[in-house]
A and B are shown apart, each in its own frame.
Chain A
Amino acid sequence: MILVKNANLLDGISDEIKTVDILIVDDRVEKISKEIDIKNPDVKIIDANEKLVIPTLTDIHCHLREPGFEYKEDIRSGSLSAISGGFTTICCMPNTKPPVDNRAIVAYIKYKSKEVSPIEVLPVGAITKGLKGEELAEIGFMKEEGIVAISDDGRCVMNSNIMRNAMLYAKNFSLPVISHCEDMNLSEGGQMNHGYISTILGLRGVPPEAETIMVARDILIAKETKAHIHITHVSTRESVEMIKKAKEWGINVTADTCPHYISLTEDEVLEFNTNAKVNPPLRTCEDVEALIDGLKEGVIDCITTDHAPHQKDEKNVEFSLAPSGTIGFETALSVCWTYLVKNKGFKIAHIVKLLNNNPRKIINLKPNIIKEGHAANLLILDPNKEWIVNENEIISKSKNSIFIGKKLWLSIDTVIYNGKILKEEGVLNC
């Protein structure tokens, strides 16, 4: 039994914060009430005075690198990193080795997760065999094994006819298609955003149009097929405008962006910092503002981490040879707090929607809320804690965080999932 006292609770249902006590028995929330007193000496009491309690988080776009790239991350290490960042449901992308393009690999990830991960790991299957963009993967079989969406993330399905068929076929199985939008002819050789900084540094650029053109294409295919398209890691102002238009037209489109796209710009690359090399690339202030407005207006439905671990030696090379990606689990909520709540006045309830309710809706999961009788999944947060991201404190197997050295607000003190304390007072307990 766990009793959380004096919690400022945001339950994921109402937008109001209530100060209550929460009693957890086994894996369920037994009681939420103004004042709960229990004389049982076996009850673990957590004083959450001045702290904020919200439901645990959901990330529908991350890379756990298993199978094939366990030297970067594996299901266990990635899960621990996720827990540290408050996530208890994570969807891993299929660009592993071999890729998740058949039922056996899906089954492997599901089996392995059950063995080693304290949280819910949901695989995303490939759209095409070998992520080659040529032939559709066995989407039905993969769904049977437990995929929640399909995506060729990291690559764009360049053949529009294949993409159209993928959307239609996925509809049979009620799966969203998560699209990494990138015209790979326009982006060829690109190392960062195509703009002023790329000119200064003499690096080849990826023009914003490389993304926006494919966003427009996918929206048009979704319009015709009436399938559910989810545009992931949106990075450009024009993409936001396209998605806004599509929603006005009533097209079944949803979208996400990542913490780094709403907080940082192409300026991060100025010292040839390879941790700032991400795909799509960091853009400009105007794009950051447009993305934040997009979140505010509900054009962009949720935030994903695109947690993309790469080993130190892989990133410590000449800029063009470094792989793209930043890890993201452990900083996501703090970045949203710092850049959206503190700087832009977002409501806390909105952040919970962006990192929990909305992503779950996109992949058709039941809501994760704090309610009597429901699973006890909650985070205890200290919003007044200021910290600097330190490489040595990173939990993930890889340390390639774009936020190293940055000052952020909010710490995740305690993570309770299904009644188990997985992180306590800032320290992992699993």
Chain B
Amino acid sequence: MAKHLLGLKELSKDEILKILNLARDMKVILKSETKKTPHLQGYSVVTLFYENSTRTRTSFELAAKFMSANTTSISVQTSSVQKGESLLDTIRTLEALKTDVLIIRHSISGASHYVAKNCSFSVINAGDGMNEHPTQALLDMFTIKERLGRLENLKIAIIGDIYHSRVARSNIWGLGKFENEITIYGPLTLIPPYIEKHVKIATSFKEAISDKDVIIDLRIQLERQKKGFITSKYEYYKYFGLNDDIKDVINERTLIMHPGPVNRGVEISSEIMNLPNCTIEEQVTNGIAVRMAVLYLCTRKEGTLI
């Protein structure tokens, strides 16, 4: 049975910790001069991205290369998908091409589950619609643990477009498995129904961000304006962005995180991005370590990883 990482919803606390602990070792390798391990030698790792990406795709590819895998990346824009090939047939083709691990990003929620149900290789979800982006949440958790020394008893705020955000969902499921208090805030048009079963919804921006250990700020897609979710980037910045006016509300020790790519001056100000406890670049580096750990675990015969 191939092992998959489809989401954090399905993972246990122990499985998450196992990945994070292994990622710590991987980070040591990453910092070394040679940056090479033989763990994935002989494995064929394919990235299939139906949506644009810089950091996630590169991060996965580098992670696989550092572990000596053979990597191929399929870009939907130049593949047979443009000729109308279905995802199912693409999977069949990749199977015939002897793929061992597929890293997939897709605009439809559940797409990676669908692939996993229909293939014999390992599937790693690199983002499916609004559902999950498990490695992003894992690298966020890794960063929090490394910086603050723990993953529990934390006050965490997630700010912005929760409704459309797979990053928010994966973080809520992942961080929610530990004893943390998660608060969300954003325009009410972008708060999904019944999310209060899992998190607190703050009634004001100030309440949301003051006295927190971690603030995870989400990217806002400017297209949301067309459907009436937001009014303009200027107004968004004023009322929902981490702007310089509310900078003082943020505790000095609060970690400020963002999954990238950032809209400067929309969801976060340049000044806040420059604060020493803003971890945006650090998250990117940690992402490689976490993805190395995930690739390692997915390709081991023993052990579990859903």
Contacts of B109 in A (CB 8 A): 191, 201-203, 272, 319-320
Q: At the interface, yes or no: A321 with Cβ under 8 Å from chain B?
A: yes
In the complex, which residues of chain B have a beta carbon less than 8 angstroms from the beta carbon of A205?
193
Contacts A272-B110, A318-B110 given; indicate if A202 touches B169 (C-beta within 8 A): yes
Given contacts A318-B110, A320-B108, A320-B109, contact A204 B193 (CB under 8 A): no
Which residue of chain A is the closest to B130 with respect to CB atoms? A202
Determine the distance from Cα of A286 to Cα of B108 in the docked complex, in whole angstroms. Answer: 29
CB of B87 within 8 A of chain A? yes
Interface-lining segment among A11-19, A192-200, A371-379: A192-200
Question: How many angstroms between the C-alpha atoms of A198 and B169 in the bound complex?
Answer: 12
**Of B110, B132, B193, which is within 8 A of A195 by CB?**
B193
Most B CB within 10 A of own CB, among A195, A204, A271, A319: A319
Tell whether, in the assembled complex, residue B110 and residue A319 are in contact, meaning their CB atoms are under 8 Å apart: yes
Number of A-B contacts (CB under 8 A): 60
How far is it, in angstroms, between the C-alpha of A320 and the C-alpha of B114 when the chains are bound? 11
- Please give the distance in Å from B255's CB to the nearest CB on chain A: 25
A316 and B88 contacting across the interface, CB-CB below 8 Å: yes
Query: Are B110 and A201 closer than 8 Å at their CB atoms?
Result: yes
B225 to nearest A CB, angstroms?
16
In the complex, A216 Cα to B86 Cα: how many Å? Answer: 41
Give the chain B neighbours of A321 by CB distance below 8 A. Answer: 108
Contact B130 A204 (CB under 8 A): yes
Whether B193 contacts A196 by the Cβ 8 Å rule is yes
A203 to B113, CA, bound (A): 14
Give the distance in Å from the alpha carbon of A318 to the alpha carbon of B91 in the complex.
12
Q: Which residues does chain A contribute within 8 Å of B131, judged by CB atoms?
A: 201-203
User: A430 near B: Cβ within 8 Å?
Assistant: no
**Residue B301 interfacial (CB < 8 Å):** no
CB closest residue in chain B, given A207? B193
With A198-B192, A202-B166 known as contacts, the answer to whether A317 contacts B132 (CB < 8 A) is no
Closest Cβ of chain B to A319, distance in Å, is 5
**What total of chain A residues lie within 8 Å of the partner, measured CB to CB?**
21
A191 to B195, CA, bound (A): 18
Shortest CB distance B46–A (Å): 18
Does the CB pair B108–A318 fall under 8 Å?
A: yes
> Is the CB–CB distance between B194 and A196 below 8 Å?
yes
In the complex formed, the residue of B with least CB distance to A273 is B110
Contact B114 A202 (CB under 8 A): no
Residue of A nearest to B106 (CB): A318
Contacting residue for A317 out of B9, B87, B193, CB 8 A: B87
| Nearest residue, chain A, Cβ from B115 | A318
Q: Tell me the complex Cα distance, A202–B106, Å.
A: 13
- Give the docked Cα–Cα distance between A198 and B194 (Å): 9
B132: nearest chain-A partner, CB-CB: A202
Task: Kindly state whether residue B265 has any CB partner on chain A within 8 Å.
Answer: no
Closest Cβ of chain B to A244, distance in Å, is 26
Do A199 and B110 touch (CB < 8 A)? no
Q: With a 10 A CB-CB cut-off, give which of A195, A199, A204, A320 has the most chain B CB atoms.
A: A199
Rounded to whole angstroms, the CA-CA distance of A422 and B287 in the bound complex is: 65
For residue B163, which residue of chain A has the nearest CB? Answer: A199
- Asked whether, in the complex, the Cβ of A317 is within 8 Å of the Cβ of B192, the reply is no
Q: Determine how close the nearest CB of chain B comes to the CB of A286; give it in whole angstroms.
A: 13
Contact pattern, A 110-122, Cβ under 8 Å of B = 1, otherwise 0: 0000000000000
Do A196 and B110 touch (CB < 8 A)? no
Set of chain A residues within 8 Å of B132, measured between Cβ atoms: 202
Q: A residues within 8 A CB of B197? A: 196
Query: For residues 192 through 251 of chain A, which have their beta carbon under 8 Å from a beta carbon of chain B?
Result: 194-196, 198-205
**Interface mask (B180-200 → A, CB under 8 Å = 1, otherwise 0):** 000000000000111101000
Question: Would you call B87 and A203 a contact (CB within 8 A)?
Answer: no
A contact residues around B110 at 8 Å (CB): 201, 203, 272, 318-319
Query: Is the CB of B290 closer than 8 A to any CB of chain A?
Result: no
- Chain B contacts for A320, CB-based, 8 A: 108-109, 129
Taken residue by residue from 269 to 294, chain A's Cβ proximity to chain B (1 for < 8 Å, 0 otherwise) reads as 00110000000000000000000000
How many whole Å from A277's CB to the nearest CB in chain B?
Answer: 11
Give Cα A196 to B194, complex, Å: 5
* Nearest B-chain residue to A195, judged by Cβ: B193
Q: In the complex, what's the smallest C-beta–C-beta distance from B290 to chain A, in angstroms?
A: 21
Residues of B within 8 A of A316 (CB): 88, 118
Considering only residues 109-147 of chain B, those with a C-beta below 8 Å from chain A are 109-111, 113-114, 118, 128-132
| Docked CA distance A164–B204 (Å) | 45
Let me know if A199 and B195 touch, CB within 8 A: yes
A272 to B193, CA, bound (A): 19
With the chains together, A320 CA to B113 CA distance in Å? Answer: 13
Min CB gap A188→B, angstroms: 8
In the bound complex, residues from chain B placing their C-beta under 8 Å from that of A317 are: 86-88, 114
| Nearest CB of A to B75, in Å | 19
Interface centre among A191, A205, A313, A320 (most CB of B within 10 A): A320
Say yes or no: B130 contacts A203, CB within 8 Å. Answer: yes
Would you give the shortest CB distance from B67 to chain A, in whole angstroms?
30
Q: Which of B89-113 contact A (CB under 8 A)?
A: 106, 108-111, 113
Among candidates A199, A202, A313, residue contacting B129 with C-beta atoms closer than 8 Å = A202
A313 to B195 CA separation, bound complex (whole angstroms): 34
Give A382 Cβ to nearest chain B Cβ, in Å.
Answer: 36
CA distance A259 to B129 in the complex (A): 31
A300-320: which residues lie under 8 A (CB-CB) from chain B? 313, 316-320
Cα of A320 to Cα of B87 in the assembled complex, Å:
13
**In this complex, what residue of B is CB-closest to A200?**
B9
Interface centre among A191, A198, A317, A318 (most CB of B within 10 A): A318
Known pairs A316-B88, A318-B114; list 19 more (Cβ under 8 Å).
A195-B194, A196-B193, A199-B192, A199-B194, A201-B131, A202-B132, A202-B166, A203-B130, A203-B131, A271-B113, A272-B114, A313-B88, A317-B88, A318-B106, A318-B108, A319-B110, A320-B109, A320-B129, A321-B108
A-B contact pairs, 26 of them (CB 8 A): A194-B193, A195-B194, A196-B194, A199-B193, A199-B194, A200-B9, A201-B110, A202-B109, A202-B129, A202-B131, A202-B132, A202-B169, A203-B109, A203-B130, A204-B130, A205-B193, A271-B113, A316-B88, A317-B87, A318-B106, A318-B111, A318-B114, A319-B108, A319-B111, A319-B114, A320-B109
User: Hey, which bits of chain A sit against chain B, CB under 8 A?
Assistant: 191, 194-196, 198-205, 271-272, 313, 316-321
